[in-house]
Amino acid sequence: MVVTQADVVWVLTASALVFMMQAGFCCLESGSVRSKNSINVAAKNFADFCISAGVFWMIGFGLMFGASHNGLFGTESFLFSLADPESAAFFVFQLMFCGTATTIVSGAIAERARYTGYLLISFVVALPIYPLFGHWAWGGAFGGDPGWLANIGFVDFAGGTVVHSVAGWVSLAAVLIIGPRTGRFDGSSTPFRSHSLPLAALGVFIIWVGWIGFNGGSTLAATDNVPHIVLNTVIAGAFGGLGAMLLGPIVQKRLDVPTMLNGALAGLVAITPAAHCVSTPGAVLLGVVGGGLCVLASQMLDRLKIDDVVYAFPVHGVAGVWGTMAIAFLGDPAKLGTGLDRWGQFLAQGTGVLTAMVWAFGGSYILLSIINRFVPLRVSPEAERIGLNVSEHAQSTEQLDILRSMEFQRLTGDYSRPIPVEPNSDIGDIARQYNLVLENLYSAKMEAEQASKTKSNFLASMSHELRTPLNAIIGFSEMITRQYFGPLGSNKYHEYADDIMHSSRHLLSLVDDILDLSKIEAGRSPLAREDIDVSNVFEDCLRVVTGAIDCNQIYFDIKVPENLSSLSADERAIKQVILNLLFNAVKFTPPGGLVTLAAHESGGRHILEVSDTGKGIPDEKLEHVIEPFQQLHSDPHIAQLGTGLGLSIAKALAEAHGGELKIDSQVGRGTKVSVILPSRPPADAK
């Protein structure tokens, strides 16, 4: 066939259209991922084309289209240099195909693949996976003997298997090696959302336009067949989208936008190997079935917990297999020109498809596994969490900057400073509104803290005014009750006086606890730190408790190691903590039960424990037990023995020492309260 100038112009135009598919894939993939990874995806799309172009020029073109060695690989045309215009146009067109095969893998492993690791994956696709299989199927197109698959009658007009299925199989291998994104299959009902579906849709439209050159240019000449091929291409893409739109809601229970987009791409992939040899109704069938198979294969990946971000394998791998096999029963034998009947053609197509699977999936899985041993293909969990834009490229986005500012405020608790505002942007408007809310919340917080401080100061200053009259009431009522039938002259009045005394004592206990807690909150209960012996503290507290209430039927045990070092703390405050915990333990321990005081050291901290064998605290009440005035016992007689402030005071005193209080309880087995204190105060402690 004589090559005309028009043929060269058409092939170069088609090359430009195929090159546009790189832009389409960039939009599709970066729009399909979360915004914190969008820059990384774009960088990979750019880099993989540069790698594939360089490798294809140096070695790939020669392996694929050089003079064949037994139909296995090419042996010349390395470091391709300009010869005649037709050869240069052919090289450029094939270079774009290699770039397309390479960039498909990027979307599948997005959001967790290391940038340097992905560059090595691109190298593996561009050499040897793609050019060697390309030689088997298309060898001889540049002159010389055909490859071994072409010899047996295998047909793949524009690369449904050579480009797309090969890339799909490599994508599946890479996904299996790298693993799913963190949290993708953790059972959460919150899906991973595409950050810009309009951008992804724009990418599909650009790819669709590029496919006109992908299939139309595969004639390698401006022939009469080009319009029919382009018609089939456009129609198959449309019906691929329709197939996904019809089947998607049935399978997924919703009309999913990414599913529609992938359905159209699957239709385009399905028509690619057969665009020259099927009728337009055949193109419709190829497209609609391709879109449907893409939906089903995507669901299968999700059920198997295989995380292909853009579903590259269903779109390119599965639809490519379908389109390649369909040639056997939808293709026009006269246009195929293989001389095979339909069964023979089916066997030839199946051989090519099976070879692509074994070579592309098996070969890449082995090579990538070896690479992964020396150069990890996956980023660290922390890098994945903050996003590859930052971790891999030190790049950020407005949205990510706001989220990081909010995260900083959450971790530090500092809401006094507003987050940065990017002027004249949607994200800036969100930040501005957030700052207004933050300002109101901060003002309300300061007012509440001031009110709480005023309350605490008031109560702390009322200590003398409240305690003096109560002590007088207790004293006088006690004097009256000691005079049996004296001035009262009646048992009834004697009981009244006795009730006054007991009620006053209970009220004084309540007032003491409230004032103690208020003093701590107001910072008017300074600590007098000294080295104290924990054993002595336990023994003193135990004598106080057993002397104050009837503990004859309760057993006590003290467990303190002989080598336990002294604790630097306020002895009065620590005794109050242990007394509060002991009184609680005794109150809730039945006759015959055991109350244990224990202490040990760990990591520069003293851990003081008071445990009992009482009823225990239900889980639903455990988180409220430290709240002030909480009475957990249902017996009103037992409940009135305390104020419900003992644990609150113990917690406040522990925190005043820079420590904490923890409660572990099991219903029917008892409760253990641990007071964790630093053995030595920090250098700046007063």
pLDDT single digits (tens) 484-504: 445 555 565 566 566 565 555
CA distance 266 to 312: 10
Q: What is the DSSP code string of 347-405?
A: HHHHHHHHHHIIIIIIIHHHHHHHHHHHS-SB--HHHHHH-HHHHHHS---HHHHHHHH
480: left (phi over 0), alpha (psi -120 to 50) or beta: alpha
| DSSP string covering 632-644 | --S-HHHHTTS-S
SS3 157: coil
With cut-offs at 50, 70 and 90, classify the pLDDT of residue 515: low
Q: What is the pLDDT of residue 362?
A: 97
* Run of H or E residues at 166: helix 166-178
Residue type, 229: I
Q: Give me the pLDDT at residue 523, please.
A: 56
What value does the mean pLDDT take over residues 145-151? 95
Identify the H or E element spanning 661. strand 660-666
Closest CA to 609 of 531, 556, 662: 662
Q: What angle, 0 to 180 degrees and rounded to 10, lies between the N-to-C axes of helices 85-108 and 166-178?
A: 30
pLDDT confidence bin for 507, thresholds 50/70/90: low
CA atoms within a 13 Å half-sphere pointing along the CA-CB vector of 394: 0
Task: Check pLDDT > 90 for residue 95.
Answer: yes
Alpha-carbon distance of 398 to 425, in angstroms, equals: 9
The β-bridge partners of 314 are: none
pLDDT at residue 456, as a whole number: 61
Better-scored residue on pLDDT, 398 or 95: 95
Evaluate if residue 636 carries a pLDDT over 50: no
Number of H helices, E strands in the chain: 28, 9
Cα Rg, the chain, nearest whole Å: 40
Q: Cα torsion at 298, 299, 302, 303 (round to 10°)?
A: -140
pLDDT at 549 over 80: no
CA angle 361, 367, 371 (to 5 degrees): 135
pLDDT at residue number 190:
65
Cα angle for residues 462, 463, 468 (degrees, 5° grid)? 105
Write out the two tokens for 27: 């939009």
Q: What is the C-alpha separation between 126 and 129, in angstroms, rounded?
A: 6
The helix/strand/coil state of 250 is: helix
Say what the pLDDT of residue 642 is. 46
d(CA 61, CA 583): 86
Q: Which residue has better confidence, 11 or 254? A: 11
Q: What is the pLDDT of residue 584?
A: 85
For residues 444 and 206, the model is more confident at 206
pLDDT at 517 (0 to 100): 56
Residue 134 buriedness (CB in 10 A; 0-12 / 13-18 / 19+): buried
User: How many Å apart are CA 479 and CA 497, to the nearest integer?
Assistant: 9
272 phi-psi bin (left φ>0, alpha ψ -120 to 50, beta other) = alpha
Q: Binning pLDDT at 50, 70 and 90, where does residue 414 land?
A: confident
Residue 588, phi then psi, degrees to nearest 5? -105, 10
d(CA 165, CA 219): 20
> What's the CA gap between 648 and 518, in Å, rounded?
11
HSE value, Cβ hemisphere, 13 Å, CA-based, for 636: 0
Q: What pLDDT shows up at residue 45?
A: 95
**What pLDDT does 638 receive?**
39
Given a contact cutoff of 8 angstroms between Cβ atoms, the answer to whether 329 and 346 are in contact is yes
pLDDT at 323: 98
Q: Region 16-36: what's the mean pLDDT?
A: 95
Q: Is the pLDDT of residue 447 over 50?
A: yes
For residue 439, name the pLDDT band (cuts at 50, 70, 90). Answer: confident
CA distance 218 to 236: 17
Length of the chain: 686
pLDDT at 186: 81
With cut-offs at 50, 70 and 90, classify the pLDDT of residue 682.
Answer: low
Can you list the alpha helix ranges (DSSP code H) found in 462-533?
Answer: 463-482, 491-521
Compute the average pLDDT of residues 283-287. 98
Q: How many CB atoms lie within 10 A of CB 479?
A: 12
Given a contact cutoff of 8 angstroms between Cβ atoms, the answer to whether 167 and 312 are in contact is yes
pLDDT, tens digit, 9 for 90 and up, residues 568-592: 988 888 888 888 888 888 888 888 8
> In this predicted structure, what is the pLDDT of residue 686?
47
Q: For position 635, what pLDDT does the model report?
A: 43
Beta partners for residue 610, in sequence order: 597, 673
Whether this prediction's pTM lies above 0.75 is answered by no
pLDDT, residue 641, reads 42
Beta strand pairing call for 567-570 and 529-532: antiparallel
Which residues lie closer than 8 Å to 510 by C-beta, 6 or more apart? 643, 645
Lowest mean pLDDT: which of 153-157, 188-192, 558-562? 188-192
| Dihedral sign from CA coordinates of 116, 117, 118, 124 | positive
Higher pLDDT, 511 or 233: 233
* DSSP sequence for 182-208: TTTTSS-SSPPPPS-HHHHHHHHHHHH
DSSP assigned state of 164: I
Burial class, 316, CB count within 10 angstroms (exposed 0-12 / middle 13-18 / buried 19+): buried
Look at 93-107, 202-216, 625-639 and tell me which has the smallest mean pLDDT.
625-639
Question: 555-559 and 594-602 as β-strands: parallel, antiparallel, unpaired?
Answer: parallel
